[in-house]
Structure 1
């Protein structure tokens, strides 16, 4: 039996075999690209520390499975910042639509990379075009959104927001990678010739929602001066412990263990702490998470209790060093200078935001989300929050797709009216209806149909 994500991966891979592009570029064929850890393109140039965040150092045109809706696609290497404040570089894939809206409309799409391994980045997955079983998951997870955004005439930036250390679920790192990914788009005229009057939005689902939500709350500080007019994300991990507890001992245990490994990648102090507290099987699991993409890690950790990897079990995460970083992982909490030297945040989103989440989500806990939304609204945020029961985590991503694009379109058009928080039960635009198809375009809809 095919899962929806597997079916989408197969559909995208099949599409990638078609001669979609008319561009005369010297490109690597699918399946022969070099992993980021071995590719010189991903290495920082000498003196990069002197550059502004978002400056593009390297660029190369790439072939991806979305050429039917794109006039050009490039990989770029750009300046960003690590969660611990040091200068760094990371990459993004930038797309230009066939018929760009004017003034420019930009969607920064955060993918659910969900891996603590350097060779599982979304740029590699997109360039591979379905050529690697390890990264097909990521390709399928962004396919609908790339097609939909390009169809609507939007420029699309898909950053490697985890940064060079593969800091999966490290919110500060993800925020910086997303925000500087937008700056890279604005600094790269090969894709975006003119930036006058541009508007931008943030979007992501699941692990991508985590990155988008963290970027959203850093916009007023680290992202100051950028014209981001709205954000939309769903299946958002807002509380580390709730999702860790949900996944522990389940088929999705690999996702949570990857997240703990990603945090250790971001913060050397936490990495040293974990190494002291792990049993040998935990040390082996940490090594595996750093060398395998999430779909490869899944059979290794299937149904395992990762708390049992630690000498003191779950209590380990309440110990002072671990608690410092698990508390940092609570979305909406203020982040101060001692934790984030590059920028601070009050933890509040200051732009209109659409959130959605299935009440019966089996991967990312729904339980803490309403309290997070209420806290945001009490502090002045403007959030439209939609929820409904009956959908698993993967299906919910597809169910709310049209509502997401209608919301973002209204923000671009200047017709979005969200003067205060609003919560609704249900989905406004039902999948398969003419309104749903019109919101995302035929290419995205054909992918969804192919996965049914």
Structure 2
């Protein structure tokens, strides 16, 4: 009897160990995230250093996932344009079209690297990382669903860890470099994924994902001008992180703390200064998000949504001015755009005029003008009276149709255009039922030349 009990105990222990081994490791302890030697430092951005197959959960509970995925460890640049590495997840839907790549920048908004999509998208990852990342895959659901055809009609999906291995949330240039280099790596991964190296790439992201997508668009001509990007859909971006901080402090305070910690992760001088200035009684509140998706013996206290974060520091909001050079250089969109260096591909930007999360609408208005003045074609949709969450939901279908039209090669005209959508508008593209109006095609002559049937088919065929 004792022997049976002993063997049973050993069996249970082994089973527990095997289950533990089956679970994905977080980036902080997973050896895949570390290059095997230092030779990578001389390689060009986008170079693939390692790859692996990973398992994704099904979007629909109780069913097997039809998706397959590979992860790529690749070379990129940090905020200071120095060599570093990051990871991207390349997802293949059933019946995928190897000539299309959708780079989807998830809004994971975290100063904890263990919240990165490469971890959170995997089956059986930490619950916080799973919840934050897997839920957002619903925002590209049409591109994940199965559809047949000679070559298939769904694009491959590229989901980069654009905050990098130091979780530099809101540090714009780093997010831009990482996004662009992840696309390059994905296009060079044919050996593992079957993607066509000449595939058309479209970028998409909302909120924090919109931040990464905008910076990638802005830096494309500077960092990766030969990368085959044919469009970018950017929703709810924060064009100025300082203005965003002021805009949401006391109403969306956790967001401000995540953003401050992200900047601290990237810049040691900011980290040292703010840790020294932080009032002791707020230490666990402020530093808690650094282990947001990490197993911790002590659960940090919940951050009050209405907290005045500036009051947590002895010097108040002085850090906004002490480090204004950093916040301006790495947190203000539009500074890399000019007529010589600007996106040659069209943009689709949308935001609610009452956005309560990212930034005042005036900042996005100015960003639109900056792109247009430089010669980039932009379709700008302003959802009148809608906040961040409302615009996310209202704007999904119009963004999908615009992305799909770009994959189909439908040309969005030669001029910038603005549409103001009100709550009284009918459902449909941009809140209206006119497909031409929705995607910004200009003039009856252009519509007649392309043909309404061709355009409608472009939307229907994702």
Query: Which interval holds the TM-score relative to the shorter structure?
Result: 0.7 to 0.9
Determine whether 1:359 maps to 2:359. no
Offset, 1:138: 2.2
Matches within 5 A, 1:32-431: 32-47=23-38, 48-66=40-58, 70=66, 72-101=68-97, 104-128=99-123, 132-145=127-140, 147-148=142-143, 151=146, 152-193=153-194, 195=196, 197-250=198-251, 252-281=252-281, 283-293=283-293, 299-319=302-322, 322-328=323-329, 329-334=331-336, 348-367=342-361, 368-426=363-421, 428-429=428-429
Which structure has the larger Rg over C-alpha atoms? 2
Offset, 1:314: 2.0
Change (3 A) 1:403 1:69: farther
The CA distance in 1 between the partners of 2:307 and 2:341, in whole Å, is: 33
Offset, 1:247: 1.9
CA contact (8 A) 1:355 1:385 kept: yes
CA contact (8 A) 1:248 1:306 kept: yes
List structure 1 segments (4+ residues) > 4 angstroms apart after TM superposition.
Answer: 27-31, 66-71, 149-152, 281-286, 344-348, 438-442
CA contact (8 A) 1:69 1:147 kept: no
Offset, 1:358: 1.2
Counterpart of 1:299 in 2: which secondary structure?
coil
Counterpart of 1:316 in 2: which secondary structure?
helix
CA contact (8 A) 1:62 1:127 kept: yes
The CA distance in 2 between the partners of 1:57 and 1:359, in whole Å, is: 43
Task: For structure 2, list consecutive stretches of 5 or more residues without a partner in the other structure.
Answer: 1-17, 147-152, 422-426, 439-456
The CA distance in 1 between the partners of 2:275 and 2:156, in whole Å, is: 43
Task: For structure 1, list consecutive stretches of 5 or more residues without a partner in the other structure.
Answer: 1-26, 336-343, 445-452
CA contact (8 A) 1:112 1:208 kept: yes
Equivalent pairs counted in the alignment come to 403
The CA distance in 1 between the partners of 2:283 and 2:358, in whole Å, is: 25
CA contact (8 A) 2:381 2:430 kept: no
Counterpart of 1:114 in 2: which secondary structure?
coil
- State the TM-score, normalized to the length of structure 1: 0.80
Change (3 A) 1:86 1:214: same
CA contact (8 A) 1:332 1:348 kept: no
The CA distance in 2 between the partners of 1:402 and 1:28, in whole Å, is: 40
Give the match for residue 3 of structure 1.
none
Offset, 1:43: 1.4
Offset, 1:131: 5.4
Change (3 A) 1:440 1:309: farther
CA contact (8 A) 1:94 1:191 kept: no
Offset, 1:146: 5.2
Matches within 5 A, 1:431-446: none
